């Protein structure tokens, strides 16, 4: 592998010119801080814009904060409006004001327009650089327009047809335009296309792109004026953000990485208190089996073996259920998923119960002071694993579905609730089986 830092300055510049934007980003992230600063200084404004577009938006914003207003404006002027806005949204308002007036008027207008949308709206992620054609253009005129504007837009694979009022009419695929022969007007070439409104939820827009298998989606306002486009990479970014957000919800943790230690602790505290209170029923439940626990402390020693296994399995099932809900799968598919998960848990439970049985016997043999009846306690553990896994998986699959039916966010509420339900059902199953078998066999 080429060692970038060993090259001369001229060799570094030549090498950087050969790199794709993604490879440039990978190289930048592989270097130490001093080498990153050197690399960034070797790039022209266009290369810097490409690098910032591929970097994580937080990292890109940190770089911009080290630049003066003039250099920042020069770089942002080379970026697509939506990428530039993502970085600007991460900056302090005072920093933003310093370079906003230095931006090209068209870019500044686009950014102001994009920032007017709520974060959840499709308009906030759309790109305003695209090529429009009118119905009266001949294909030769359309090709000239395409060639002239191509360097300034994100994609030319699809051209958008509007009337004189910018009302959206349809699209012309590039391949179709190239094949057409003059004389031929765009009116005879354009075809209808799916579209979304700028106020539509961006997650629904991303889902539509995925379901329909399309790369570009026109964005219209309420009057059907073409405002922008959403590309597949915008949809991917939206999915990634939603995935992170749902994971934060599922773990009851919603905070920005820039929060201070104090505010971070303050945000986590309420959920930790709730989880503490939810643990009280578990402690109270254990008291009901005080007699058997007092005489057979091995029951308590083996308890973590079961709880950790069932908890991990429950989290896996919960994740699948949340994905299906997020994808708005029909009810019959969700029901089939519940049956599949429980059936899979039963099969896994049989195998895991056998493994748990053997492991428990070996554990007691290696620690003979724990019990003189390894077979009985190994049977308790094995049977508890099987039943707890089936019950825990059922609750993990059904709880988010029930929460979703109430209108609440299943990702936010499922995690803490599921943890408590699994702990209660597992302990009840484990201690119940232990009490029954000990009472009958010992």
How much of the chain is in helix, strand and coil states, percent to nearest 5?
Answer: 70, 10, 25
Give pLDDT < 50 ranges for the chain: 255
232 and 286 both lie in a single domain:
no
pLDDT at position 264, please? 59
- The verdict on residue 404 lying in a domain is yes
Residue 114, phi-psi category: left (phi > 0), alpha (psi -120 to 50), beta (remainder)? alpha
**Domain total for the chain?**
3
The CATH number assigned to the domain holding 67 equals: 1.25.60.10
206 and 293 both lie in a single domain:
no
239 and 196 both lie in a single domain:
yes
- The verdict on residue 254 lying in a domain is no
CA–CA gap between residue 62 and residue 161 (Å, rounded): 39
| Angle between helix 93-100 and helix 69-76 axes, rounded to 10 deg | 70
**DSSP H or E stretch at residue 228:** strand 226-231
Record the pTM: 0.54
Q: Could you say which of 194, 220, 247 is where a domain stops?
A: 247
Residue-wise pLDDT tens digits, 49-75: 888 888 888 888 888 888 888 888 888
Supply 101's token pair.
Answer: 């007036």
**Quick one: how many helices (H) and strands (E) in the chain?**
19, 6
CA–CA gap between residue 189 and residue 176 (Å, rounded): 8
Q: Could you say which of 185, 214, 247 is where a domain stops?
A: 247
218 and 295 both lie in a single domain:
no
278 and 402 both lie in a single domain:
yes
95 and 183 both lie in a single domain:
no
- The verdict on residue 255 lying in a domain is no
- The verdict on residue 233 lying in a domain is yes
- The verdict on residue 36 lying in a domain is yes
Quickly list DSSP for 274-336.
Answer: HHHHHHHHHHHHHHTTHHHHHH-THHHHHHHHHHHHHHHHHHHHHHHHHHHHHTT--HHHHHH
How do strand 158-162 and strand 132-134 relate by DSSP bridges? parallel
88 and 162 both lie in a single domain:
no
Supply 170's token pair.
Answer: 């349809």
CB atoms within 10 A of CB 419: 18
Core vs surface per residue 44-66: b (16+ CB within 10 A) or e: eeebbbbbbbbbebebbbebbee
Cα-to-chain-centroid distance, residue 83: 18
91 and 179 both lie in a single domain:
no
Burial class (CB in 10 A: 0-12, 13-18, 19+), 439: exposed
- Picking from 45, 235, 225, 231, the residue whose alpha carbon sits closest to that of residue 155 is 231
pLDDT at position 358, please? 92
Q: Which domain range does residue 356 map to?
A: 261-441
Q: Could you say which of 195, 214, 247 is where a domain stops?
A: 247
361 and 310 both lie in a single domain:
yes
- The verdict on residue 125 lying in a domain is no
Bridge partner list, 133: 161
199 and 292 both lie in a single domain:
no
pLDDT at position 410, please? 67
The CATH number assigned to the domain holding 265 equals: 1.10.357.20
pLDDT at position 422, please? 79
- The verdict on residue 124 lying in a domain is no
pLDDT at position 197, please? 92
22 and 154 both lie in a single domain:
no
For 55, the 3-state DSSP assignment is coil
312 and 404 both lie in a single domain:
yes
**DSSP H or E stretch at residue 156:** none
Residue-wise pLDDT tens digits, 75-123: 888 888 888 888 888 888 777 877 887 788 888 888 888 878 887 888 8
The CATH number assigned to the domain holding 177 equals: 3.10.580.10
């Amino acid at each position: 592998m080429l060692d970038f830092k060993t090259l001369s300055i001229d060799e570094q510049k030549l090498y950087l010119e050969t790199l794709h934007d993604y490879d440039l980003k990978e190289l930048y992230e592989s270097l130490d801080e001093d080498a990153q600063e050197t690399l960034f200084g070797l790039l022209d404004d266009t290369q810097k814009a490409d690098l910032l577009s591929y970097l994580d938006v937080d990292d890109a914003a940190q770089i911009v904060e080290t630049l003066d207003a003039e250099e920042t404006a020069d770089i942002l002027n080379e970026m697509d409006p939506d990428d530039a806005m993502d970085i600007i949204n991460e900056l302090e308002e005072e920093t933003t004001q310093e370079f906003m007036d230095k931006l090209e008027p068209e870019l500044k207008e686009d950014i102001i327009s994009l920032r007017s949308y709520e974060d959840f709206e499709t308009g906030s992620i759309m790109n305003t650089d695209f090529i429009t054609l009118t119905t009266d253009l001949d294909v030769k005129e359309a090709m000239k327009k395409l060639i002239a504007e191509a360097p300034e837009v994100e994609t030319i694979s699809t051209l958008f047809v509007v009337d004189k009022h910018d009302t959206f009419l349809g699209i012309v695929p590039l391949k179709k335009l190239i094949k057409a022969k003059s004389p031929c007007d765009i009116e005879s070439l354009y075809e209808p296309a799916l579209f979304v409104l700028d106020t539509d939820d961006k997650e629904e827009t991303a889902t539509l792109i995925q379901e329909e298998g399309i790369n570009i989606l026109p964005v219209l306002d309420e009057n059907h004026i073409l405002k922008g486009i959403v590309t597949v990479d915008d949809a991917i970014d939206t999915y990634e953000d939603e995935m992170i957000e749902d994971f934060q919800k599922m773990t009851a943790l919603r905070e920005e990485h820039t929060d201070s230690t104090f505010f971070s602790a303050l945000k986590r505290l309420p959920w930790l208190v709730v989880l503490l209170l939810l643990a009280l029923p578990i402690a109270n439940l254990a008291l009901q089996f005080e007699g058997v626990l007092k005489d057979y402390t091995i029951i308590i020693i083996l308890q973590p073996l079961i709880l950790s296994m069932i908890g991990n399995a429950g989290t896996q099932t919960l994740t699948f259920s949340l994905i299906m809900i997020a994808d708005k799968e029909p009810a019959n598919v969700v029901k089939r998923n519940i049956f599949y998960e429980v059936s899979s848990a039963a099969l896994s439970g049989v195998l895991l119960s056998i493994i748990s049985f053997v492991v428990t016997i070996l554990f007691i043999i290696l620690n003979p002071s724990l019990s003189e009846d390894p077979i009985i306690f190994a049977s308790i553990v094995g049977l508890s694993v099987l039943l707890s896994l089936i019950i825990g998986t059922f609750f993990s699959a059904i709880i988010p579905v029930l929460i979703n039916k109430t209108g609440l966010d299943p990702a936010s509420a499922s995690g803490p609730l599921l943890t408590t339900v699994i702990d209660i059902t597992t302990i009840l199953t484990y201690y119940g089986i232990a009490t029954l078998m000990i009472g009958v066999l010992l």
